[in-house]
Structure 1
Amino acid sequence: MSAGRRAMLWLLAAFYLAAGLLHLRSPAAFLLIVPDWVPAPHLTVIVTGIAEILGALGLLVPRLRKTAGIGLALYALCVLPANLKHAIEDIVLPGLPSSWWYHGPRLAFQPVLIWAALYASGVTRWPWRRLPRK
């Protein structure tokens, strides 16, 4: 594993671990951005926090790494509606900016976060090299 990929792996693991712990510690803040159509919003926030923590830990276990990377990529895709609601409805969350200078880059970064989970976990080498076919 290259130094860049290893650094990204550790950065993502730290990011998702911190985010997961924050979901568990302060679920009320996240409830504000859960879309209305999501069932059991409080439970959903708790489960997503646990998923982030497990994904972060999975990235650090070689035999679970690819599964964790795919899971975190899917997770980042699934939270897009909450991020859109946060931006479109201009919901103020404590400690976060509420301008489009924050929301625009955050939404634009979502595909990068998906790619980063897949790249750091070894699921893809794109755009640098294709994985060898087995």
Structure 2
Amino acid sequence: MRWVLAAFYSAAGIAHLWVPETLLLITPAWVPFPREVILATGVFEIAASVALVSRSGLRWWAGLAMALYALCVWPANIKHALDGIEMPVIGNSWWYHGPRLAFQPVIIWWALFCAGVIDWPWRIAKRASR
């Protein structure tokens, strides 16, 4: 699970660095220095992905940061959906937006779980089997 999440975040990071202009379309107007933020988040996503799959003590922090980041980008995903912004490859369909918005809490949980920040729901199942 950790490697799959790291692959998704790395791909997103590469997209942030490669085509920041495209992501400017969905960046809320209240974000200061939007182009620089997009580039910085691309570097973050790649670095956090490396830390997540490493055996270092950074894994816990990477998972926590990835979860917080997923929460912080939710407004951009909402803007993308509600404003009907057409983006290359992704397009503008609720077949994309609906699952994407609903999956955001799962991404947050996934990052926390993969980093060992939380162990829910398996911890509960282990207690019940005692």
TM-score, length basis structure 1: 0.89
Structure 2: which amino acid aligns with 1:90? G
Task: Pick one of 47, 55, 59 that aligns with 1:54.
Answer: 47
The partner residue of 2:27 within 21, 34, 47 is 34
- 1:39-75 Cα shifts (integer Å, max 9, x gaps): 0010010011011011101101222111000000000
What does residue range 10-29 of structure 1 map to in structure 2 within 5 Å?
Answer: 10-29=3-22
Q: Equivalences for 1:77-96 in 2 at 5 Å? A: 77-96=71-90
Counterpart residue identity of residue 44, structure 2: A
For 1:83, what is the secondary structure of its paired residue? helix
* Aligned residue number for residue 3 of structure 1: none
C-alpha separation in 2, matches of 1:46 and 1:23: 6
Say which is worse superposed, 94-103 or 69-78, in terms of deviation.
94-103
**How far, CA to CA, are the matches of 1:97 and 1:18 in structure 2?**
18
- Which residue does 1:69 correspond to in 2? 63
Which of 93, 101, 118 is matched with 1:99 structurally?
93
CA distance in 1, matches of 2:107, 2:26: 19
TM-score (norm 2): 0.92
- Give secondary structure in 1 for the equivalent of 2:26: coil
Q: Taking every aligned residue pair, what percent have the same amino acid on both sides?
A: 56
| Unmatched runs of 5 consecutive residues or more in structure 1 | 1-7
Task: Give the root-mean-square deviation of aligned CA atoms.
Answer: 0.9
Residues 3-56 of structure 1, C-alpha deviations (whole Å, 9 max, x = no match): xxxxx1000111111110111011001000000000001001001101101110
CA drift at 1:121: 1.0
Structure 2 residue aligned with 1:121: 115
Unaligned runs of 5+ in 2: 125-130
